[in-house]
Amino acid sequence: MKTKTLFLLLILLILSVVFYDPPLKYAALEVADMYPGIKADLERIFGWKLNLKPSIILINDRAKFQRIAESTLTVAFAVPARNLIVIDHSKMHINPLSLGNILKHELCHILLHHHIRGVALPRWLDEGIAQWASDGISDILMHQKRSLLNKAVFRDRLIPLHTLQKSFPPDNGSLSLAYEESKSFVTYIISKSGKEGILTVLNYMRHGENVDSAILKALSIPLRELEKKWHHSLRQRMTWFTYLSYHLYEILFSVAALITIYAFIRIIMRKRAYMKEEEEEDFLSVFFTAGTHFSYCLT
């Protein structure tokens, strides 16, 4: 009883409350232990204080989590208006997911919405920043060996950012692409303007500027023009060699299948040729046998 009381007091001192399925008691204690470090790291990155105590729900039942999640790919989500984070703990063993980086990702959402209140925070910027701050980790299951972004660039089917302002597409493929695009665009901004560039954009928004105005003031370029430059940079790196390398396994499988089909056809052709040759030999054998007998009759 004493241990349980100390455990609950520790959580209440650090967080508002952690709700958890019975098997996740030690996971809840782990959350309470890592939370101060994650909070401090985010405050250091953004230079903003997070003066609130979020509630965190850890769920161990995938089916139960799916009933409240946005998508079948979702492994965690934040509800900033309620300072709430919900995590599907059953998926925390899947590489590269971990309880720590998922908590950091969701806490980043809460931090952003806590400070940017007067204007709408675009979903693409919200997710792009959260992925950047949590070492590239998203809160959905992503295919680690296959980039939908590369495929979309090659086929010229990128989702325009203005359609990702309020929400992301519901189907899994487009949802994954929206996450990849968000991360890629924020990474592109940082590659051109540094960390200070993206933080200046966020600070302008914190003081009431909408995203278009904030980007124009911070980066001296309109958002649409910046998006075009980002698209151009993606196309530059997307060569035929890159595409072929990306689809190496599919190409090898297709080539192997074609070789197998070719070999099968060759075997059939050889078999038919052999059978035809045998038939001709049988015919000639009969012919010459008949011919010999005919000659004998003439003599």
Query: pLDDT tens digits, residue range 124-149?
Result: 999 999 999 999 999 998 765 678 99
Q: Are residues 185 and 92 in the same domain?
A: no
Q: Are residues 214 and 278 in the same domain?
A: no
**pTM for this entry:** 0.77
Q: Tokens 């059978």 label which residue?
A: 275
**Percent of the chain at pLDDT exceeding 90:** 60
* Residue that terminates a domain, selected from 87, 115, 143: 115
* Residue that terminates a domain, selected from 212, 239, 266: 239
Q: For residue 57, what are the domain limits? A: 1-115
Q: Are residues 78 and 54 in the same domain?
A: yes
In angstroms, the CA 220 to CA 20 distance is 47
Q: Are residues 176 and 229 in the same domain?
A: yes
Per the document, the length of the chain is 299
Residue-wise pLDDT for 74-96, tens only, equals: 999 999 999 999 999 999 888 77
**Stretch among 53-67, 126-140, 226-240 having the lowest mean pLDDT:** 226-240
Q: What is the mean pLDDT of residues 160-176?
A: 96
Edge to edge, what strands does the sheet with 84-88 contain?
17-20, 55-59, 84-88, 76-79
Q: Are residues 160 and 271 in the same domain?
A: no
